[in-house]
């Protein structure tokens, strides 16, 4: 995640950069983070007091600021956070997903989630994750 953040900081703040940040996040950390998020949610009280919990939150906030800077409006900032969470949903347990998504392959779920994330940070449909 640190490498992604460092790279993102060197890029122009364009829609293309935001999409590439999301793509890299999904192919890097994003595929294994659903398990981490589930652990953090199940053990919220303990994790929130640990230094590692603060570091993860700081990195999440920094990543979201690359997608929507602090001077962006509240809606844009929320969309940036939702975009990242959409990527996490690609690895969510089937009971959290609609049946049509739960039945998809991992690659299909990832493509659908990436399409949703792109829409959230760019305001346009990226052409990913079409219904089967």
Output the 3-class SS for 11-79: CCCCHHHHHHHHHHHHHCHHHCHHHHHHHHHHCHHHHHHCHHHHHHHHHHHHHHHHHCCCCCCHHHHHH
Least confident of 36-40, 77-81, 100-104, 123-127: 123-127
Which of 38, 42, 37 lies closest to 56 in space, CA to CA?
37
Residue 71: pLDDT over 80: yes
Confidence of residue 112 (pLDDT cuts 50, 70, 90): very high
Specify the length of the chain in residues: 132
């Amino acid at each position: 995640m640190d490498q992604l953040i460092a790279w993102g900081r060197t890029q122009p703040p364009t829609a293309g950069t935001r999409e590439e940040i999301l793509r890299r996040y999904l192919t890097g950390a994003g595929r294994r983070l659903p398990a981490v998020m589930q652990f953090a949610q199940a053990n919220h009280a303990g994790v929130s007091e640990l230094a590692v919990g603060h570091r993860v939150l700081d990195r999440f906030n920094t990543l979201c600021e690359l997608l929507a800077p602090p001077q962006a409006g509240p809606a844009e900032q929320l969309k940036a956070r939702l975009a990242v969470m959409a990527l996490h949903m690609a690895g969510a347990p089937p009971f959290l997903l609609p049946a049509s998504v739960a039945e998809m392959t991992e690659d299909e779920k990832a493509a659908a989630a990436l399409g949703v994330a792109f829409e959230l940070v760019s305001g346009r449909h990226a052409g990913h994750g079409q219904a089967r």
